Amino acid sequence: MITKKDVEYVAGLAKLEFTEDEKEVFTKTLGDILEYAKQLSKVDTGSVEPTAHILPLTNVYREDRVEPSMDREKILKNAPEKLKGCFRVPRVI
Amino acid sequence: MLHYMTARELSERIRNREVSAEETVSSVLGRIEKLDKKIGSYITVTAERALEEARRADRRLKEGGSLPPLAGIPMALKDNMCTQDIPTTCASKMLENFVPPYSALVYEKLQRAGSVLVGKTNLDEFAMGSSTENSAFKKTCNPWDQGRVPGGSSGGSAAAVAAGMAAFALGSDTGGSIRQPAALCGVVGMKPTYGRVSRYGIVAFASSLDQAGPITRDVRDCAFVLNHICGYDRRDSTSADVDVPDFEAGLGKGIKGMRIGIPSEYFGEGIQPGVRDRVTEAIGVLEGLGAVCDEVSLPHTDYALSAYYIISSAEASSNLARYDGIRYGYRAEGCQDLDELYIKTRSEGFGEEVKRRIMLGTYALSSGYYDAYYKKAQKVRTLVKKDFERVFKNYDILVCPTTPAVAFRAGEKTGDPLQMYLFDVYTIPVNTAGLPALSIPCGFADNLPVGLQLIGKPFAEQTLLRAGYAYQGSTEFHKEHPQV
């Protein structure tokens, strides 16, 4: 039910790439899992509302107040590459 | 035997100056030094820091100062909880060198209560797994049989508590990751109600399901630790703004007249006979203590697992999009453009199971499949939740096994992800409905620990603890230790 082409397509969406061997493993294991999950179609959910969250929450707002943010040095400490107080990335344009 | 004392006992002894905080912490560090080569619970051990903190507590006591309740108690944290200036890896190559610039709220709170961190424990990468075999760094053994898994994903935390390498530990539970390893390692584990404990600083897996909780030697300790980690936190927008009771108060009230439901779906085919027998005996013990037990039905149980894997993977695929090699974490080398950087970084940094969940989640959310999978799963989630609401109109708690079988052999399920997922069939519905649940040891099958699961109404952790405490008052299983 899920093909190697599907795996390649979804990998593209998820920004992942696989070797040919990995594609085979994922086609098989994702296929097994989705086949199992097909049982959901047996459940009558015609008039059932979806649950995204178990708490009766809608939006949680706070006052729009300026607060101190984390120190720039601290934030950049884990950056793989940085330059002049900024994150450094490969050429974009 | 300081290393097998409960946190409660240690706390009293330290205050009464029968033992120093330094002796307590040293004894556990010595135990780690001696045993962890075999067990593999820890990714990072913070020995020097821990001894320094312990000495500070001793000095304070000597100078006549008062100590906070958990002063000098050695604890372990799962390595997906941010600890400022201490590496937090999530057992992933992606975060191998990540040193958080801030701490999770649970760590801040436990530090304030005086507890001493001895180390960060192993887990399935990003908490995705049921055996701790998905760690990028090491394997963790079950202390009761080193050829078997400790369960997962909080396997390092559960094995550490079981082997006397921490007085208590914290784990996180998205589909059973506290209760399942606690059951397999013969210790106590609780997943509190969703929203009870702040998720601030705990690396996100599936945000509508994740919840942190204690792994301890007995139920009393579970209440003791829970007292210090719960409460509203404005930095977690799903944190519940509800009163936090004293979880230790009323523990000893007994369970006379407590109405207990026994969900028949949790005793179906696939359950190991030894597990069924131990759980049935435990129900007998609870009845002997005055509880009234009846069989009940949760008809959508069979579907909870599928709904869970769709929902949790969908949320994971979105949460893990942040690992792009730019602000922190692993970055692939020699990439020419941004797209290549994303793809190479993620493909090299994530392990197989994490990729599988990202793929499954991305598929379920993708155009054309969203309604059939994701939305359908959310509707089934509603039905699973309603099943529980219906039985909880007439019952105080539900009692069932934590897992369908005892700890399995290392490598037994690694080639078949679906079989691995099915091992969590009894713990997953609880997360889907956001309920609190407790796993306590209830004996042995094939010389391996069996876990009894107690499920409660939202925010009724006290009722679970009272039942667990009553059970442990008339049984000795929680006092058994593995021969390591």
pLDDT digits (tens, 9 = 90+) for B344-365: 999 999 999 999 999 999 999 9
Tokens of B61: 């006591």
pLDDT of residue A62: 83
Nearest residue, CB atoms, A50 vs list B317, B337, B382: B382
Mean pLDDT of chain B: 97
CA torsion B411-B414-B415-B420 (nearest 10°) is 130
pLDDT of residue B287: 98
Nearest residue, CB atoms, B338 vs list A25, A48, A90: A90
Cis peptide before B154 (omega within 30 of 0): no
Question: Quick one: pLDDT band at residue A55, thresholds 50, 70, 90?
Answer: confident
Beta carbons of A43 and B380 less than 8 Å apart: yes
Q: How far apart are CA B359 and CA B336, in angstroms?
A: 25
pLDDT in tens, B21-43: 999 999 999 999 999 999 999 99
Question: Quick one: pLDDT band at residue B65, thresholds 50, 70, 90?
Answer: confident
Q: How far apart are CA B267 and CA B263, in angstroms?
A: 8
Question: With 90 as the cut, is the pLDDT of residue B296 above it?
Answer: yes
Question: With 80 as the cut, is the pLDDT of residue B15 above it?
Answer: yes
Nearest residue, CB atoms, A60 vs list B237, B347, B458: B237
Nearest CA-CA distance, residue A57 and chain B, Å: 8
DSSP string covering B194-249: TTSB--TTBPPS-TTT--EEEEESSHHHHHHHHTTTBS--TTSTT--------TTT
The 8-class DSSP code of residue B95 comes to G
Q: How far apart are CA B82 and CA B170, in angstroms?
A: 12
The 10 Å Cβ neighbour count of residue B154 is 38
Section A21-47 average pLDDT: 96
The 10 Å Cβ neighbour count of residue B34 is 11
Question: With 80 as the cut, is the pLDDT of residue A93 above it?
Answer: no
Q: List, in order of start, the domains of chain A with CATH numbers.
A: 1-43 (1.10.20.60)
pLDDT of residue A38: 94
Q: How far apart are CA B331 and CA B119, in angstroms?
A: 26
DSSP string covering B7-29: HHHHHHHHHTTSS-HHHHHHHHH
Asked if B339 is an interface residue toward chain A (Cβ–Cβ < 8 A), one would say: yes
pLDDT of residue B303: 97
So which residues of B are the catalytic ones?
Answer: 78, 153, 177
Instruction: Please tell me the number of Cα atoms within 13 Å of A88 on its side-chain side.
Output: 8
- Given a contact cutoff of 8 angstroms between Cβ atoms, the answer to whether B72 and B54 are in contact is yes
Nearest residue, CB atoms, B356 vs list A30, A37, A89: A30
The alpha-carbon radius of gyration of chain A (Å, integer) is: 23
Q: A76: nearest CA in chain B?
A: B327
Section A55-71 average pLDDT: 85
Nearest residue, CB atoms, A55 vs list B195, B309, B373: B195
Question: With 80 as the cut, is the pLDDT of residue A70 above it?
Answer: yes
Which residues does chain B have within 8 Å of residue A16's beta carbon, measured at their own beta carbons? 343, 346-347, 350, 355, 358-359
pLDDT of residue B229: 98
Which residues does chain B have within 8 Å of residue A36's beta carbon, measured at their own beta carbons? 306, 418
Tokens of B122: 């192993």
Section B104-116 average pLDDT: 98
Residues 6+ apart with CB under 8 A from B61: B14, B15, B17, B21, B67, B71
Residues 6+ apart with CB under 8 A from A32: B416, B417, B418
Burial class (CB in 10 A: 0-12, 13-18, 19+), B163: buried
Which residues does chain B have within 8 Å of residue A2's beta carbon, measured at their own beta carbons? 363
Question: Quick one: pLDDT band at residue A11, thresholds 50, 70, 90?
Answer: very high
Question: Quick one: pLDDT band at residue B98, thresholds 50, 70, 90?
Answer: very high
Beta carbons of B359 and A15 less than 8 Å apart: no
pLDDT of residue B59: 96
Q: How far apart are CA B19 and CA B236, in angstroms?
A: 38
Asked if B415 is an interface residue toward chain A (Cβ–Cβ < 8 A), one would say: no
How big is the CA angle at B367 (ends B366 and B369), to the nearest 5 degrees? 70
Q: How far apart are CA A90 and CA A83, in angstroms?
A: 12
Asked if A1 is an interface residue toward chain B (Cβ–Cβ < 8 A), one would say: no
Contact map slice: B 431-470 vs A, CB within 8 A = 433-434, 458
Residue with tokens 């989630």: B381
- Given a contact cutoff of 8 angstroms between Cβ atoms, the answer to whether B341 and B325 are in contact is yes
Beta carbons of B418 and A29 less than 8 Å apart: yes
- Given a contact cutoff of 8 angstroms between Cβ atoms, the answer to whether B57 and B67 are in contact is yes
Nearest residue, CB atoms, A70 vs list B101, B337, B434: B101
Asked if A83 is an interface residue toward chain B (Cβ–Cβ < 8 A), one would say: no
DSSP string covering B441-476: EEEEETTEEEEEEEEE-TT-HHHHHHHHHHHHHS--
Contact map slice: A 27-66 vs B, CB within 8 A = 29-30, 32-34, 36-37, 39-41, 43, 45, 48-55, 57, 60, 62
Which residues does chain B have within 8 Å of residue A49's beta carbon, measured at their own beta carbons? 379, 382
Q: How far apart are CA B57 and CA B68, in angstroms?
A: 9
Section B78-99 average pLDDT: 98
Section B402-410 average pLDDT: 98
The 8-class DSSP code of residue B393 comes to T
Which residues does chain A have within 8 Å of residue B346's beta carbon, measured at their own beta carbons? 14-16
Of B423, B38, B476, B472, nearest to B219 by C-alpha is B472
Of B93, B149, B140, nearest to B119 by C-alpha is B140
Which residues does chain B have within 8 Å of residue A25's beta carbon, measured at their own beta carbons? 352
Beta carbons of B362 and A40 less than 8 Å apart: no
Question: With 80 as the cut, is the pLDDT of residue A58 above it?
Answer: no
Q: How far apart are CA B316 and CA B314, in angstroms?
A: 5
- Given a contact cutoff of 8 angstroms between Cβ atoms, the answer to whether B367 and A37 are in contact is no
**How far apart are the two ends of chain A, measured CA to CA in Å?**
40
The 8-class DSSP code of residue B407 comes to P
Section B181-185 average pLDDT: 98
Question: With 90 as the cut, is the pLDDT of residue B276 above it?
Answer: yes
Section B185-190 average pLDDT: 98
Beta carbons of B337 and A81 less than 8 Å apart: no
Question: With 90 as the cut, is the pLDDT of residue A1 above it?
Answer: no
* B482 alpha carbon, distance to own chain's centre: 20
* φ, ψ for residue B29, nearest 5 deg: -65, -35
* A32 alpha carbon, distance to own chain's centre: 21
Section A7-27 average pLDDT: 97
Asked if A8 is an interface residue toward chain B (Cβ–Cβ < 8 A), one would say: no
Q: A47: nearest CA in chain B?
A: B379
* ipTM greater than cut 0.90: yes
Q: List, in order of start, the domains of chain B with CATH numbers.
A: 2-261+394-479 (3.90.1300.10)
